[in-house]
């Protein structure tokens, strides 16, 4: 497991997972599986699941971090079995303050499995939100590492 803060606004963790990219991508492309892989403990349930995401799709998540709330997510990058990213958007009026971060997963076949890179990209975050979420970088990095551990646990369990 390794991590990198490439810029102040992009945090990346990576891990080689002993499984094919297709198995890992299947988890990432199904919003109904996101509560199982979430390392932060904040993802409660998908508002819709069981369907495979594609570029431009929107999906909702019920979240809980102190209080319950919901997010809308839009798939902004998609390359089957290689890359998926979604932008998390808050409902109005919060969308003026905290919204816009992108969660990105990149999968690369390597000897022994798949190199999985998870990135937290806040370059498009709302100005007020960017200031606040930068303060959560260490916590976010830890949670991202846990997410990759959980993904590995699921895809290697069978």
pLDDT in tens, 46-58: 677 668 899 999 8
pLDDT winner (highest mean) among 37-41, 113-117, 134-138: 113-117
Report the pLDDT value the prediction gives residue 134, as an integer from 0 to 100.
Answer: 80
Residue pair 71/60 in contact (Cβ under 8 Å)? The answer is: yes
The continuous run of DSSP H or E covering 130 comes out as helix 127-134
Q: How far apart are CA 72 and CA 123, in angstroms?
A: 18
Higher pLDDT: 65 or 59? It is 59
Residue 98's pLDDT band (cuts 50, 70, 90): confident
- The structural domains of the chain, with segments of one domain joined by +, span 2-155
Residue pair 47/59 in contact (Cβ under 8 Å)? The answer is: yes
pLDDT exceeds 80 at position 158:
no
User: How far is CA 74 from its chain centroid?
Assistant: 12
Report the pLDDT value the prediction gives residue 44, as an integer from 0 to 100.
Answer: 54
Residue 2's pLDDT band (cuts 50, 70, 90): low
pLDDT exceeds 90 at position 8:
no
Please tell me the class of the 2-155 domain. Answer: alpha beta
Higher pLDDT: 134 or 53? It is 53
Q: What is residue 131's three-state secondary structure? A: helix
Residue 114's pLDDT band (cuts 50, 70, 90): very high
Which runs of E-coded beta strand occur in 18-66? 43-46, 58-65
Q: How far apart are CA 147 and CA 154, in angstroms?
A: 11
């Amino acid at each position: 497991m390794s991590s990198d803060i490439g810029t102040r606004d992009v945090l990346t963790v990576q891990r080689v997972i002993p499984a094919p990219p297709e198995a890992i991508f299947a988890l990432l492309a199904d919003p109904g599986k996101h509560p199982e892989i979430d390392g932060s403990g904040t993802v409660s349930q998908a508002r819709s699941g069981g369907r495979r995401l594609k570029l431009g799709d929107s999906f909702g998540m019920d979240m809980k971090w102190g209080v319950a709330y919901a997010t809308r997510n839009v798939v902004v990058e998609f390359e089957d079995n290689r890359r998926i990213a979604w932008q998390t958007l808050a409902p109005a009026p919060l969308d003026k303050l905290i919204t816009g971060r992108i969660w990105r997963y990149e999968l690369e076949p390597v000897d022994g499995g798949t190199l999985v890179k998870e990135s937290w990209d806040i370059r498009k975050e709302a100005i007020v939100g960017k200031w606040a979420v930068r303060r959560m970088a260490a916590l976010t990095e830890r949670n991202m590492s846990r997410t990759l551990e959980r993904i590995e646990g699921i895809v290697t369990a069978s």
